[in-house]
Structure 1
Amino acid sequence: MGRFFLPRQWRMPKLVLGLIIFEFPFTVANLSLFGIAAPNTYRTILWRVGGEMGFNSDPSKVAYAAYNYQKMETPIVWSSLNTNYNMYIGVVCMFFYLIKFTLWLLHVFYPILSLILHVALAALWAASLYLQTAPDTVDPAHQNKGAPWYITKSCNIVSDKTERGYCMQAKSAFAVSIIMLATYVIFIVLSIWSLFPTPEARLAHETKIAEKKAEKELYASSPYDQEMTAEEQWQHMWELQQLPRTPGTATGNAPWSKTPATPRTRAFNDLGGSQEYYAQQPMTPQYPVGQQTQAQTYYPPPKQVQHEHEGVGYAGVAPHGQQELDEYVYDPKGKGAAM
């Protein structure tokens, strides 16, 4: 299965782009020429001129036969089907050309898409060429088993200037039709050639298949994901999304700003910082309702000072029964005197 694949790269992308650019003016010319010819600008005129010169049947005889209920059908080359069909092809080709050019700009105009599209368009143009070169054998006296006279002969044989112009327009439309068909055939050849992968493309495809297979086997053999429930897997993925893209790139002075951390680690660090903050604040004891109406602030006692002669004293606190002094000093006899 890994050896068969459809390449997405063109063998000669510059040539494909050149064909797309080359196709545009002929698509516009084709739409214009057949748009002018529709519905019956000069088709019946060229049919009449050819009948007068003896190159094909005469439209007056066909009309006379139809008036007398005789069987004489209009040749397909001079019918309205020929003109309308080519005009519809011009519209379709312009529509698909815009789609094709857009796909090329988006880099999704793959060879397989080109093959399907251009095979269909080439078939339409092959039918168009058949209609434009269909034989005219309804008149036994003037049968034409090949292409009509305005294709096989020069337009200079017509004396009237307007009729000569119509002849040149019909000849130009036929020439554009041939160029369009040839362009699509070249597209088909390039598409088929590009569908045969090169050794480099085949190697790249096999490498990609091997990597996907290894990744799939690694995921299947991981017991961690298999033991986790759906909710635990969702929580795990959410925590992974909160991690910094690159370790050590987070800003700030927090402990977690220089190392990778999950939201749980950050929460514990915040909790530890809060404990240190509250340990430095004055403690306010709580009393039962009715015993204490106001909360009293409790401050830790000052550090004890050990003296050489009279033991322990407290700075800023007077002994029991004496006046409170701002600061204690000691004389040579060991007794403190207020300053």
Structure 2
Amino acid sequence: MGRFFLPRKWRMPKLVFGLIIFEFPFTVANLALFGIAAPNTYRTILWRVGGEMGFNSDPSQVAYAAYNYQKMETPVVWSSLNTNYNMYVGVVCMFFYLIKFTLWLLHIFYPILSLILHIALAALWAASLYLQTAPDTVDPAHQNKGAPWYITKSCGIVSDKTERGYCMQAKSAFAVSVIMLATYALLIVLSIWSLIPTPEARAAHDTKLAEKKAEKELYASEPYDAEMTAEEQWQHMWELQQLPRTPGTTAPAPAPWAKVPATPRTTAFNQLHGGHQDIFAHPRSPIHASPQQYQHQQQTYYPPPGQDGVGYAGVAPQGQQVYHDYVYDGNGKGTAM
């Protein structure tokens, strides 16, 4: 079961890209030539010229039969189906060429996609060549069972310059059609060749399957897999994703005072030394000082008149110990007293 797979890499990618680039000018030329020929620029003229030279039937015979209520069908090679069909094929090829070139640039134009696309386009061009080389047997006296005269013969046999130009355009359109079919046929061969896996591709595919199987078995053997619900498993995976991938790379937590909203009332209160932000505004306050600096810091005491020996919060008479709410000892967080 695991031995069958479709390779996604081309055997000769440079050749494939070269064929894609080579196809572009002929796609444009095909669209231009059949666009000029539609709907009936020179088809009937070439039919008449060939009838006058005896190479095929004459369009006047079909008109005469229709005038006398006789059934005489127009040969396919001289019908409007031939011109319109080729013009539609040119439009379709240009559309898929733009898609194909875009997929190639995105590196997703796989051989299997190329095989399906080019088989369809090659079938369209095969039908186009059949229409362009269909026989003309409506006139028993002048039957042509092969390609029309402007393909099999030189355009120099036509004396009129305009008609000679039409002959060269029709011949060029047929040549472009042959080149397009040959290009698609070569791309089909390269696609089939690339779809045949090499030993290296098989080994890489087997390795990938083994890794997926091992990962699936490891996930199935997790202890919490059978005990936790689907919602709990999702919550667990989400919590794991929140952990930092590399220790020490997380951003430091913002300072406590950075999150305090600054309102006019808060600003005025802090300016009057009534808020807690005043502590953090002075970097040399006792909280930010080191233990050595804190021990040698001199306390200034101004006792009110007549109340000597009275201690206030954070201020004490000389020789008495000062107790603060928190004392920083340099080993992590402060220790409550």
C-alpha displacement at 1:324, in angstroms? 5.0
Provide the C-alpha distance between the structure 1 equivalents of 2:309 and 2:173, rounded to a whole number of angstroms.
122
**Which residue of 2 is the match for residue 30 of structure 1?**
30
C-alpha displacement at 1:232, in angstroms? 2.7
C-alpha displacement at 1:225, in angstroms? 2.2
**Which residue of 2 is the match for residue 225 of structure 1?**
225
C-alpha displacement at 1:230, in angstroms? 3.1
Seen in structure 2, the aligned counterparts of structure 1 residues 246 and 134 have a Cα distance that, compared at 3 Å, is same
Give the TM-score of the pair, scaled to structure 1: 0.74
**Which residue of 2 is the match for residue 262 of structure 1?**
none
**Which residue of 1 is the match for residue 202 of structure 2?**
202
**Which residue of 2 is the match for residue 6 of structure 1?**
6
Provide the C-alpha distance between the structure 2 equivalents of 1:210 and 1:327, rounded to a whole number of angstroms.
80
Provide the C-alpha distance between the structure 1 equivalents of 2:44 and 2:234, rounded to a whole number of angstroms.
76
Seen in structure 2, the aligned counterparts of structure 1 residues 147 and 327 have a Cα distance that, compared at 3 Å, is closer
C-alpha displacement at 1:221, in angstroms? 1.6
C-alpha displacement at 1:249, in angstroms? 2.5
**Which residue of 2 is the match for residue 299 of structure 1?**
none
C-alpha displacement at 1:251, in angstroms? 4.6
Residue correspondence of structure 1 range 290-305 to structure 2 within 5 A: none
Provide the C-alpha distance between the structure 1 equivalents of 2:136 and 2:51, rounded to a whole number of angstroms.
11
**Which residue of 2 is the match for residue 212 of structure 1?**
212
Residue correspondence of structure 1 range 160-239 to structure 2 within 5 A: 160-239=160-239
**Which residue of 2 is the match for residue 121 of structure 1?**
121
C-alpha displacement at 1:34, in angstroms? 0.2
**Which residue of 1 is the match for residue 48 of structure 2?**
48
Provide the C-alpha distance between the structure 1 equivalents of 2:229 and 2:60, rounded to a whole number of angstroms.
88
* Corresponding residue SS for 1:209: helix
Q: Which letter maps to 1:189? A: V
Q: Which letter maps to 1:139? A: D
**228-237 vs 89-98, which deviates more?**
228-237
Cα deviations across residues 216-252 of structure 1 (Å, max 9, x unaligned)? Answer: 1111122222212234323322321221120233354
**Which residue of 2 is the match for residue 87 of structure 1?**
87
Provide the C-alpha distance between the structure 1 equivalents of 2:76 and 2:238, rounded to a whole number of angstroms.
71
Give the TM-score of the pair, scaled to structure 2: 0.75
C-alpha displacement at 1:192, in angstroms? 0.3
**Which residue of 1 is the match for residue 326 of structure 2?**
none
* Corresponding residue SS for 2:246: coil
* Corresponding residue SS for 2:39: coil
Q: How many residues align?
A: 262
Provide the C-alpha distance between the structure 1 equivalents of 2:318 and 2:6, rounded to a whole number of angstroms.
96
Provide the C-alpha distance between the structure 1 equivalents of 2:144 and 2:231, rounded to a whole number of angstroms.
82
* Corresponding residue SS for 1:5: coil
Residue correspondence of structure 1 range 127-166 to structure 2 within 5 A: 127-166=127-166
Provide the C-alpha distance between the structure 2 equivalents of 1:193 and 1:230, rounded to a whole number of angstroms.
46
**Which residue of 2 is the match for residue 245 of structure 1?**
245
C-alpha displacement at 1:31, in angstroms? 0.2
Provide the C-alpha distance between the structure 1 equivalents of 2:190 and 2:238, rounded to a whole number of angstroms.
49
Provide the C-alpha distance between the structure 1 equivalents of 2:86 and 2:318, rounded to a whole number of angstroms.
116
Residue correspondence of structure 1 range 59-98 to structure 2 within 5 A: 59-98=59-98
Seen in structure 2, the aligned counterparts of structure 1 residues 26 and 225 have a Cα distance that, compared at 3 Å, is same
Q: Which letter maps to 1:47? A: W
Q: Extract unaligned runs of 5+ from structure 1.
A: 255-315, 317-322, 329-339
Looking at CA atoms only, which structure, 1 or 2, has the larger radius of gyration? 1
Cα deviations across residues 245-280 of structure 1 (Å, max 9, x unaligned)? Answer: 2023335499xxxxxxxxxxxxxxxxxxxxxxxxxx
Cα deviations across residues 100-149 of structure 1 (Å, max 9, x unaligned)? Answer: 00110111100000000000000000000000000001001111111000
Q: Which letter maps to 1:105? A: L
Provide the C-alpha distance between the structure 1 equivalents of 2:46 and 2:309, rounded to a whole number of angstroms.
134
Provide the C-alpha distance between the structure 2 equivalents of 1:324 and 1:180, rounded to a whole number of angstroms.
110
Provide the C-alpha distance between the structure 2 equivalents of 1:99 and 1:253, rounded to a whole number of angstroms.
51
Seen in structure 2, the aligned counterparts of structure 1 residues 227 and 67 have a Cα distance that, compared at 3 Å, is same
Provide the C-alpha distance between the structure 2 equivalents of 1:234 and 1:67, rounded to a whole number of angstroms.
82
Cα deviations across residues 10-61 of structure 1 (Å, max 9, x unaligned)? Answer: 0000000000000000000000000000000000000000000000001101
**244-253 vs 114-123, which deviates more?**
244-253
